Chains A and B, each alone.
Chain A
Amino acid sequence: METNNKQMLFLTLTKLRAWVFLALLLILFEVWSHTIYGRSFLANPYNLKSLAFFAAIPLLLALGQTFVIISAGIDLSVGFIMGLAAVISAKAVAYFGAMGLPDFPAVMLGIMVACLVAIIPGIINGILISSLGVPPFIGTLGMYGVARGAAFLFAGGMTVSVSNSILKWLGNGLIMGVPVLVIIVAIACIISHFLLSQTRFGQHTYAMGDNKAAADRAGINTKFLTIKIYALAGLFAGIAGALYTARFSAGSAQAGEPLLLISIAIVVIGGASLFGGSGTISGTIAGALVIAVIQYGLVYVNIEPFWQFIAVGIVIILSVLAEQAQSKLWGAK
């Protein structure tokens, strides 16, 4: 079972594949931009800021999805939990504002309410899966419907607009040239990375995702762990919804609809296996950037937007192929 240098290099490359994709894409668009516009794609603050905005909210959803997928689950409900949270945060901020609260506390309270509401479907997902034995795909598909209906009912079928200076600043303001939204998502990334790599919670998530029986026998409370993981996914979806409302000064039930599949794609491109047990936050960050670069880059070079779907699809397939090549090399006994 000797792994020679070539294999080692290949293993490292497949593990870091999201970063490799990202580098290749950046080179592609850099060259493309020089060819058609005669200027740089990357050395352009406007492009960088736009990329960061593009990546931020999908990345937030993908952070929660990363924990879920590592635990060998899947969460199909995060998109509409985000929509629900977007609507609730718009309504709640407006409500607290109308009660006469100044902008800042109104926003804080409003976002807190939205996050609390978003955690509830997450907890229910966790209970369905861990205690009632519902497969994650089915349980969260059910929650997808429930959250979707609730979001539209709360919104009364409309977009709920809200006007609040602090909220607007959260979604569009800059701190030393960096979007506040991006700073918030960066903090979420750091916390997620810490949880996953430095705590028992993260360690047990990996163990359960690889071998639930082993985790149970080791005395890990896998039921409670599962509930915590889906609650966390709900919480991130809640924050994503609130930030969506902050960005557009309006909450929409459909805010997260296109982001559900994107969130899963990000995690998979980032190197996680849908069978569970593997994945990292840094991979997920790279995955989010890959998708953002494809989406924004194609718009930037004036390619019809439908090509985005094809490009993202191809990257997902390549990523899974790399994953299989990797497990063949590893699994070889």
Chain B
Amino acid sequence: MARDRLEIKNIAKHFGPVKALDGVSLTLKPGECLALAGDNGAGKTTLIKVISGVHPATSGEVLIDGKPAQFSTPQQAREAGIETIYQDLALANNLTIGENIFLGREPKKRLWGFLPILDRKKMAEAATNVMKNLEFHTDRLDSPVQAFSGGQRQTVAIGRAVHWNASILIMDEPTAALGVPEQKKVLELIKALKAKGHSIIFISHNLQDIFEVSDRIVVMRRGKVAGERQIADIDHNEVVRLMISG
């Protein structure tokens, strides 16, 4: 069996008296899409925030490729190959695709051999490449991303993760803000990324989407893992039962 890309052991996260996570353990294999399901407030977002360095865990352990990892900032998590994509499209809408892909990690070059300036050409080229790979065709690579639709912008967010060659992509309800055709497009993207060997954690309230793209599902309830199954071994009713009654 392949070594786990990500393993989390017994993670707890308390916000004062609220036990948002109460001893959660799970694993993620290379090239696997793991669905994270659960009712509102089950702790899905909190869990991925712990993994991606937004919240420090109260206790527990995170291992990446078998090695212990503790991220205290999103930056550190990104350097370790974890990219997170949120439903509310974490893009700066006034910047171009390239500028968004490189936000916080802008490449520099030297003007006249000494003056460091942003390398806009490099950003634009990377944007062209990444977007072509995701079959996103536009001649407006120098427009601010506010000129694009929600699905196109979600593609940009995913493109950012792809460009930085994330080994683990975490998507928190990536289709929630999108229309149906654009949801389909994002699901196709997830399948393509999986095929390329990226590991994915996919959070969604839409069971149909989960069954379409995931290999395995972890159902959370009140900060705990209520059950874990291969997608082939479970149906909608069983997932709902786990979500409601553990």
Contact = CB atoms under 8 A, between A and B. Distances in A.
B146 A214 contact: no
Interface in A200-238: 200, 203-204, 206-207, 209-211, 213-220
A39 B125 CA distance: 54
B189 interface: no
Interface string A297-333: 0000000000000000000000000000000001101
Interface of B: 54, 73-75, 78, 84, 86, 88, 90-95, 99, 103-106, 108, 111, 116-118, 144, 146-147, 149
Contact of B86 (A1, A200, A217, A278): A217
A311 to B, nearest CB: 31
Nearest to B52: A217
A72 to B, nearest CB: 11
Given A203-B95, A207-B95, 19 more contacts: A194-B117, A198-B111, A199-B118, A204-B104, A209-B94, A210-B92, A211-B90, A214-B92, A215-B92, A215-B103, A215-B104, A217-B90, A218-B104, A218-B105, A219-B74, A220-B103, A277-B92, A277-B93, A278-B94
6 contacts: A194-B117, A200-B106, A210-B92, A214-B90, A215-B104, A217-B54
Contacts of A214: 90-92, 103
Main secondary structure of the interface of A (DSSP, over half): helix
A209 B86 CA distance: 19
A142 B118 CA distance: 36
Interface residues of A, number: 25
B148 to A, nearest CB: 8
A209 B92 CA distance: 9
Contacts of B147: 1, 330
Given A210-B95, A217-B74, A330 B104 contact: no
Contact of B104 (A199, A209, A220, A277): A220
Contacts of A278: 94
Given A206-B95, A210-B95, A277-B94, A218 B103 contact: yes
Contacts of A215: 92, 103-104
B149 A333 contact: yes
A194 B105 CA distance: 19
A7 to B, nearest CB: 12
B117 A330 contact: no
B225 to A, nearest CB: 26
Given A207-B95, A210-B92, A213-B90, A198 B118 contact: yes
Contacts of A211: 90-93
A213 to B, nearest CB: 6
A217 B74 CA distance: 6
Q: Which of B92, B93, B106, B144 has the most CB of A within 10 A?
A: B92
Contacts of A200: 106, 108, 118
